[in-house]
Amino acid sequence: MASRKPAGTGAALASALLFGITTPLAKLLLGSAPPLLIAGLLYVGAGAGLSLWLLLTDWRHTRPALPRADWPWLAAAIGVGGIAAPALLMQGLTEASAASASLLLNLEAVFTAGLAWLAFREHASRRVVSGFAVILMGGVLLAWPGAGDTSLPTRAALLIAGACLCWALDNNLTRRISAGDARLIGAIKGLAAGATNSALALGLGAKLPTAAPLGAVLLLGLLGYGVSVVLYIQALRHLGTARTGAYFATAPFIGGALALTLSGQTPPLLFWPATACMALGVWLHLTERHQHEHGHAPMVHTHEHGHDEHHQHEHGPEWDGREPHVHEHRHGPLRHSHVHFPDIHHQHPH
């Protein structure tokens, strides 16, 4: 089971990279259309691109649809994270610099972890909390007055903070359905959110941008709101919400660094200790070893899996021998001890 940690970590950091570069690049595209329409088109690009990915790669194989119990969680996640959050962020970007907006996005990690630990009762060790605190400290250093272009009007700060809170709730809601196909979840979120925001913007009189900016927005949406979401869901599946959120907290650092580069500014002095904090926090998480005897209650669910110690079940003659594979399967009661994380199989009390 320990092998799931590198997979989840790599997915979380790659997700942070893609989302981190999206904010300063989206700022450059805001002149081509109103903020609400840009937000909608970003999600249209994500939903359409992921849908095409599914059609091209899975047309020979039938994957299970999302369970009925997952749809309310997905609908709520789309409402707060796919519709409200990007609209708030794009509006905030019209009144703030790309660098300052990127740095303020650190609040998403704070809200995500707070909701995970306090509202959703996810376990956190001292090492995980310490690593999260150090990563957050790096974000604070980057946003410190005098650390760069960080002027941020109060209204813009509230709008971006509101987007962060919405995304934090989205992260915790999506955690409940992270066993499902991440591409399908991302495609549904993208198409629903994109259609809603785009329709609202066009209904209010917005005009579509010309071909070149439109293509750029759609491509940016596929990478920053599409592939990034798929990777984030995969990380949630293996690491849990708070740990994934801690890795994702490096996204504002990435976005801020790119914004400074695009503006031609020299990185401020505090940029380097902030980098050290980010690196130390990630290292604390990478070297975490949480191990104790724990029990697994009987469970029936569907997700992509291989035949590891938690998946020792028989298959019928229809199985073609591929691993990993997806099908509904049953877990019997099990008690053992090994290194683990609050993934989809380890939601036990401590």
Higher pLDDT, 339 or 42: 42
pLDDT by residue (tens digit) across 155-180?
A: 888 898 899 899 999 999 998 898 88
In 3-state terms the chain splits into helix, strand, coil percentages (rounded to 5) of: 65, 5, 25
pLDDT score for 93: 82
3-class state of residue 181 by DSSP: coil
- State the Cα–Cα distance between residues 186 and 242, nearest whole angstrom: 20
Average pLDDT value for residue range 46-68:
79
- State the Cα–Cα distance between residues 69 and 80, nearest whole angstrom: 19
Angle at the Cα of 270 from the Cα atoms of 268 and 85, rounded to 5 degrees:
90
pLDDT by residue (tens digit) across 297-306?
A: 777 766 666 6
- State the Cα–Cα distance between residues 28 and 23, nearest whole angstrom: 9
Q: Can you give the pTM of this predicted structure? A: 0.76
Domains of the chain, residue spans? 4-289
Please state the separation of Cα 145 from the chain's center in Å. Answer: 28
